[in-house]
Structure 1
Amino acid sequence: MKNLLAIFLMVFLFASCEGPMGPPGQDGGITEWWIKEDIKVKSSDWELVYNENKDPIYIYEYRIDDQDMSLYTDTYRKGLITTYMYLDFDDDAEAQTALPNPVHRRDAKDNSILWTETYSCDYTRDGFLIFKVTFSDFFTDQRPPETHFKAV
């Protein structure tokens, strides 16, 4: 019985599964790349967002209306923009991570104070990139730190 099973498996594994070749596919379209590296957002550049009643909604944002980006408003309908946040571990090492990205923080003076800053990005039909930061503790008296981004 084991020999029969082994023969069956060998025939199954080595049998050809080819058929007639299908028609050729279409050639790929033109791929255009646009990269904006090191978008520097200083701490003072972050703006707190308010609702229609002038109440804060606990989100900081930074808007970019770059002339270079206005050429690529078609991307909203036909393409994709991926944004990254640079992480500096020390002077010699740098990394980047795709957004959205949660960053866990601890108060330097009181280790019991913990929160999460979640960084994200929206891309609008009009060619705006809007970087956003939300705080898990809803404390908005302190602006986010200087942050560096990349858009592709």
Structure 2
Amino acid sequence: MWLANLNRLPTKVRLASWGLNIQTACCFCSNQDESRDHLFLNCTYTTALWNRIFERLNPRRTAFLTWEELLSWLRVSAASAPSTLKKIATQSLFYNVWRQHNSAVHLNGFLPLQTTFNTIDREIRNTISARRHRRKFTTLMQLWIR
């Protein structure tokens, strides 16, 4: 997550800027160049994952347009979506999108959207369950599975 926040992930656009002769098209949608913002905010694959997360946290929320908007959303805590839950969901989404990215680039394929979301859901539930005795985590499971 911190590598993504610092824009230090080796995305295709970043690798090309280092002089590597590679195709810069997104490995999921092939519609745009693969930058950090496209990969985690604007790609159709990731947007669909965000929409499923928003269904749980804030049904009226729409996709992020900028990285700053994402960071601002993470900082604001609400009764229906505490900042801690948003951070857990975001970290899990980033990890799994990057994992599927690496699978697409190095193993010639990535998992279907539903499978990736099921993995994200399971990771969020496990994270909350492992910390359920901490004060910040006592109500998060109820908020996530409603």
TM-score (norm 1): 0.28
Q: Which has the larger radius of gyration?
A: 1
Which structure's residues are more often helix, by fraction?
2
Which structure's residues are more often strand, by fraction?
1
Which protein, 1 or 2, shows the higher relative CO under an 8 Å CA cutoff with sep ≥ 6? 1
TM-score (norm 2): 0.28
